[in-house]
Amino acid sequence: MAKLVTIQLLVSENDESDIIDGLNDALRTITHPMGSGCAEGSFILDYAVPSRALDVPAAIEDSIASGTYAEGSAFAGGEQHYLLVVQQDVNALRVGPFSNSDDRDAAARAHRKEFGEDDGLYWMQVSAEGVVEVGDFGGDELEEPSLAREVVSRFHAGERVISRPASASCFMLDMGDGEQPVSMDLIADIEGISYETLVIVQEGNTEFVLPASKARDFYKEADWLHAALNKETRMGFFDWVSVKVGELPKARPT
C-alpha cells in the first residue's frame, strides 16, 4: 500500500528557482527510478516540489543569522498568518508572515486606518501541511477596539456590566477591573454599535442597563399567563413581552 507524506524543509536560500533546482538535485538521489530518481529499491517512489516557498517569521530569520536557531523552531505553532492587500482591487500584495492572527488583524486595521477602504483586505492562513485558506474579514473585525465594543461583546455573552443601586443616580460600568461611571456618550456609542436601544431593568434593589433584546429575558411566561388569566392582556406571550420592554425607561432619554 502506498501513502502520500507531506514534509517541510527549512532552507538557506531565497531565490525560488534555486530552491526548486536544489531540492530536485537532492531528492533524485534518494528517489526510485519510477519517480525520475536514481535510487534503485528506494521506498520513496516519487515526489513533488511546491512551486512557491513560504516565508519564515522575522524571529526565525534573526535566529539563523545569529547562529541561535533551535531545532524545530521554524515549524513550531504549525500555522502561518498573512494579510493579503489587493491595492485598488487590482494588484495583490502578501504581507507577513505574522506569528498569530491578532498581529495580522492589527496590521489590517492599521492599513485600513492609513489608506481607507480603497484596498481589499483578506486574511490568509497556511497550515503546517501547506494547506492555504483565504477569507474576508467579517463584521467589525477591522474596527478599532473600543470600550463600547467590549461592552457590546459582554452583553452578547449575557453579562450585566452596567448597573446601579435603585437609589443611586449614576450607573457604573464594571468590566472586572474596577468600576467607572457611565456617560451618555458611552451609552450612545453602545447603541450605535449594537443597533439596539438600551433600557433600564430593575431586579430587586438593583437596576441594570441592557439592550432591549436582553431585557426580554426578564419577562417569564408565568407572568404573562397570570396577566392573561386576570384579563390584563389579550395578547400572546411574544407581543406582551414586546409591549413590556417598550414601556421600560430608556438609558438615554430621547
Q: Annotate 115-145 with b (16+ C-beta within 10 A) or e (fewer).
A: eeeebebebbbbeeeeeeeeeebeeeebeee
pLDDT for 78? 61
Higher pLDDT, 100 or 244: 244
The pLDDT of 207-236, averaged and rounded, is 90
- 178 and 231 assigned to the same domain: yes
Domain that holds residue 200: 147-246
- 131 and 157 assigned to the same domain: no
- 155 and 224 assigned to the same domain: yes
pLDDT for 43? 87
- 202 and 235 assigned to the same domain: yes
Residue 2 lies in a domain: no
Residue 222 lies in a domain: yes
Nearest CA-CA partner of 57 in 84, 82, 85: 82
> What's the rounded Cα separation, in Å, for the pair 184 and 239?
30
C-alpha atoms less than 13 angstroms from C-alpha of 173 in its C-beta half-sphere? 16
The count of domains in the chain is 3
pLDDT for 225? 92
Highest mean pLDDT among 82-96, 117-131, 167-181: 167-181
- 155 and 236 assigned to the same domain: yes
> Which of 138-142, 171-175, 184-188, 247-251 is predicted least confidently?
138-142
pLDDT for 198? 92
**Chain-centroid distance, C-alpha 168:** 38
Task: Tell whether the model's pLDDT for residue 250 goes beyond 90.
Answer: yes
Q: What is the DSSP string of 34-99?
A: GGT---TT-S-------SSPPP--HHHHHHHHHT-PPTTGGGTTS-EEEEEEEETTTEEEEEEEES
- 154 and 241 assigned to the same domain: yes
Quickly state the pLDDT bin for 17 (edges 50, 70, 90).
Answer: confident
pLDDT for 117? 74
- 201 and 236 assigned to the same domain: yes
pLDDT in tens, 152-210: 888 888 888 899 998 888 898 888 878 889 889 888 888 888 888 999 999 889 999 99
Residue 59 lies in a domain: no
Is residue 234 a contact partner of residue 228, using CB atoms and an 8 Å limit?
yes
Task: Tell whether the model's pLDDT for residue 135 goes beyond 70.
Answer: yes
The pLDDT of 80-104, averaged and rounded, is 79
Q: By percentage, how much of the chain surpasses pLDDT 90?
A: 13
- 229 and 193 assigned to the same domain: yes
- 27 and 90 assigned to the same domain: no
Residue 211 lies in a domain: yes
- 37 and 97 assigned to the same domain: no
Q: By percentage, how much of the chain surpasses pLDDT 70?
A: 94
